[in-house]
A and B are shown apart, each in its own frame.
Chain A
Amino acid sequence: MLEQQLVNALTLGSVYALFSLGFTLVFGVLEVINLSHGAMFMAGSFAALTVVTRLKAPLAVGILAAMLVSGLLGLAIDALILKRLRARHAPHLIPMIATIGATTVLTSAAQGLFGVEVQRFPDELLPTREFIFGSVHVRALELAIVGIAFLLMTALFLVLRHTRQGRALRAIAESPKAAALLGINVEGLFLATSFTAAALGGVAGLLIGLNFNSVTPLMGQPILHKGIAVVILGGMGDIRGALFGGLFLGFAEVLSKAYLSSQMGDAVAFGLLFLILLVRPAGLFGRVLERKA
């Protein structure tokens, strides 16, 4: 029983981590709390669903569609809204409020286009194999979810660590002004970050949509709140923190649902978040920084 719960927790936790990685990346580089990240999650799920059901494309194409559609939406939000606010040096809360507006628009558009009912992926498309290790049943789907999530996260780490663009991004995260003086194309990398973060969010949406086989226009809202919890747990803008925070939240949620109370599982995430904020605002793994206003 416990082993089975651990498999569920790992699946959920790795998707939380993937989702939160994009969220924290945008905060680290652009210093924006991007509350439209949940809408990217939802859009990715719908993009894949549409490609798979209407065009009868294989699931792999669905993943690409999720990345592309969500990425382009993230790019559009950055180019049309956030860029102007940066040019004006608007205070931090203003871009956050603008992304709330973008979320409302996208959610409402999805409700108009796809309706409010739960949509499902056709069963024949989902891998049905099950692997049995002792008493534990692992669905091939779960393995694929964990695999894809970790593959994408590793790719992101490698890019940030070892490429020229990655180094430039880390320089921007330290100080955009100094980076611009060094000849780094700051605006271009802001756009690239928005695209990448949104694309990761879109894939996360597809993975959750597949795992529970349910896609709805409102699915971005609960995950956004969990993403916030993860990013606070791990420290805002901290890439490693998002990974550990995501896994931690996955385990905390699944285990408290299994052993404490099935309804209160969600309250655990926010109770934790609330506590962490009060005790360690820089996150569990974060350096103790001066609070950012």
Chain B
Amino acid sequence: MEAFADFWATYSTLIFTVGIHALLALSLWLTLSCGLLSLANAAFMGIGAYTAALLTLHLHWPFPMVLAAGALAPAAVALVIGAPTLRLSGVYLAMATLAFGEVTRILVLNLDITGGPEGLNGIPLLTTWWHIVLILAAAGYALARLRRSRMGRAFEAIREDEVAARMMGIDVEGHKLAAFTLGAVLAGLAGALNAHSTFFISPREYGFENAVDILTMTILGGISSLIGPVLGATILTLLPELLRFLHAYRLAVNGLILIGVVLFLPTGLWDSRRLRHLLRAWRARREGQP
């Protein structure tokens, strides 16, 4: 038991981070499942984190309400900026969301209420491990149900071919806005949980690099299933810990992984179709040699 206590004391932050990153990767998975490449999810996370932290610090709201507000605030922002932005597609959408992320970061950096570049300090540590597990499980379950629902199928149709989807009578704009906003809800939740598990937040944690990190996790894992993003988040969170001996060159490994995946594993690490194929080949080989 004591060994476990030691282990927990050393690694609990890391385990919390894995869970929060998994939630973020799922939030991007949701937007990508509708064919939208958004670089705004880090900003949504930041909006959720700051909203939640300010409500706890100044108004002393109960934690469940803080979490709900942390999820809803970025969703409201997503609704407002989504309506005009989502008319853009492909790289133009990526650029617009990047610009939104930068404007958000600069605003947070310069407002008084957000504490400027120093950020917010002394946020009570209200997040416990079971909050993260519960929310991650609920999000996973909801997303799994969503995939098989009418809405999930519509997302997939839009991703594959927007024009064809429109011809089938799918409300393309409405569904895109839904995917973007629901993604913001998950990212905001991750931000609120993160703010209450790290004691301290600053604008630096929600910039372009973080948007890229979220993207890397999701792409590395693969978007063909929900396991992919969680797997990608876990690997990329644990990897830097394992690569400590590389010092400053540590991040280069992330970059190389991203390039390698794009070049050699376009569908990501966890491609259910490929795995099924491999499994079948393995079985066939075993049955072939009695």
The reply to whether the CB of B275 lies closer than 8 angstroms to some CB of chain A is no
Q: Which of A221, A236, A267 counts the most B-chain CB atoms under 10 A from its CB?
A: A267
In angstroms, Cα B88 to Cα A281, docked, is 8
B248/A112 in contact, CB under 8 A: yes
The reply to whether the CB of A252 lies closer than 8 angstroms to some CB of chain B is no
The reply to whether the CB of A92 lies closer than 8 angstroms to some CB of chain B is yes
**Residues of B close to A81: CB separation below 8 A:** 259, 262-263
A33/B263 in contact, CB under 8 A: no
**Residues of A close to B96: CB separation below 8 A:** 273-274, 277-278
Closest to A111 in B: B248
Q: B239-271 CB contact bits vs A (8 Å, 1 = yes)? A: 000000001111110111111001100100000
B92/A267 in contact, CB under 8 A: no
A101/B256 in contact, CB under 8 A: yes
Closest to B109 in A: A263
A270/B263 in contact, CB under 8 A: no
The reply to whether the CB of B94 lies closer than 8 angstroms to some CB of chain A is yes
The reply to whether the CB of B37 lies closer than 8 angstroms to some CB of chain A is yes
Q: In the complex, how many angstroms separate the beta carbon of B284 from the nearest chain A beta carbon?
A: 29
A104/B95 in contact, CB under 8 A: no
Closest to B93 in A: A277
In angstroms, Cα B255 to Cα A278, docked, is 32
| A interface: dominant SS | helix
Contact of B254 among A93, A104, A115, A221 (CB under 8 A): A104
A101/B103 in contact, CB under 8 A: no
Closest to A278 in B: B84
Q: A108-144 CB contact bits vs B (8 Å, 1 = yes)? A: 1101100110000000000000000000000000000
The reply to whether the CB of B238 lies closer than 8 angstroms to some CB of chain A is no
In angstroms, Cα B93 to Cα A291, docked, is 11
A273/B252 in contact, CB under 8 A: no
With A274-B96, A274-B103 as contacts: A105 and B259 at CB distance below 8 Å = yes
B107/A98 in contact, CB under 8 A: no
In angstroms, Cα B96 to Cα A228, docked, is 10
The reply to whether the CB of B125 lies closer than 8 angstroms to some CB of chain A is no
The reply to whether the CB of B45 lies closer than 8 angstroms to some CB of chain A is no
**Residues of A close to B92: CB separation below 8 A:** 236, 277, 281, 291-292
With A92-B90, A293-B90 as contacts: A277 and B99 at CB distance below 8 Å = yes
In angstroms, Cα B262 to Cα A229, docked, is 26
**Residues of A close to B259: CB separation below 8 A:** 81, 98, 101-102, 105
With A101-B259, A273-B95 as contacts: A266 and B106 at CB distance below 8 Å = yes
In angstroms, Cα B96 to Cα A110, docked, is 29
Q: In the complex, how many angstroms separate the beta carbon of A228 from the nearest chain B beta carbon?
A: 6
B208/A225 in contact, CB under 8 A: yes
Q: In the complex, how many angstroms separate the beta carbon of A249 from the nearest chain B beta carbon?
A: 13
In angstroms, Cα B88 to Cα A292, docked, is 9
B250/A108 in contact, CB under 8 A: yes
Q: In the complex, how many angstroms separate the beta carbon of A43 from the nearest chain B beta carbon?
A: 14
B263/A84 in contact, CB under 8 A: yes
**Residues of B close to A93: CB separation below 8 A:** 37, 90-91, 94
The reply to whether the CB of A6 lies closer than 8 angstroms to some CB of chain B is no
The reply to whether the CB of A85 lies closer than 8 angstroms to some CB of chain B is yes
With A104-B254, A105-B256, A270-B102 as contacts: A85 and B90 at CB distance below 8 Å = no
Q: Which of B85, B99, B208, B212 counts the most A-chain CB atoms under 10 A from its CB?
A: B99
With A85-B263, A98-B263, A263-B109 as contacts: A103 and B102 at CB distance below 8 Å = no
**Residues of A close to B89: CB separation below 8 A:** 291, 293
The reply to whether the CB of A17 lies closer than 8 angstroms to some CB of chain B is no
B103/A90 in contact, CB under 8 A: no
The reply to whether the CB of B100 lies closer than 8 angstroms to some CB of chain A is yes
Q: In the complex, how many angstroms separate the beta carbon of B2 from the nearest chain A beta carbon?
A: 39
In angstroms, Cα B100 to Cα A273, docked, is 9
In angstroms, Cα B251 to Cα A109, docked, is 9
Q: In the complex, how many angstroms separate the beta carbon of A286 from the nearest chain B beta carbon?
A: 12
A229/B99 in contact, CB under 8 A: yes
A225/B249 in contact, CB under 8 A: no
Q: In the complex, how many angstroms separate the beta carbon of B239 from the nearest chain A beta carbon?
A: 13
B103/A232 in contact, CB under 8 A: no
Q: In the complex, how many angstroms separate the beta carbon of A270 from the nearest chain B beta carbon?
A: 4
The reply to whether the CB of B98 lies closer than 8 angstroms to some CB of chain A is yes
**Residues of B close to A108: CB separation below 8 A:** 248-252, 255
| 20 interchain pairs, CB-CB under 8 A | A93-B91, A94-B266, A98-B258, A100-B215, A100-B258, A104-B251, A105-B252, A105-B256, A105-B259, A108-B255, A109-B249, A221-B208, A221-B209, A225-B208, A236-B91, A236-B92, A266-B106, A270-B103, A281-B88, A293-B162
Residues of A within 8 A of B (CB): 33, 81, 84-85, 88, 90, 92-94, 96-98, 100-109, 111-112, 115-116, 221, 225, 228-229, 232, 236, 261, 263-264, 266-267, 270-271, 273-274, 277-278, 281, 291-293
Residues of B within 8 A of A (CB): 37, 84-85, 87-92, 94-96, 98-100, 102-103, 106-107, 109-110, 162, 208-209, 212, 215-216, 219, 247-252, 254-259, 262-263, 266
Give 9 closest A-B pairs by Cβ, nearest first: A104-B255, A101-B258, A105-B255, A108-B252, A101-B259, A108-B251, A112-B248, A267-B106, A270-B99
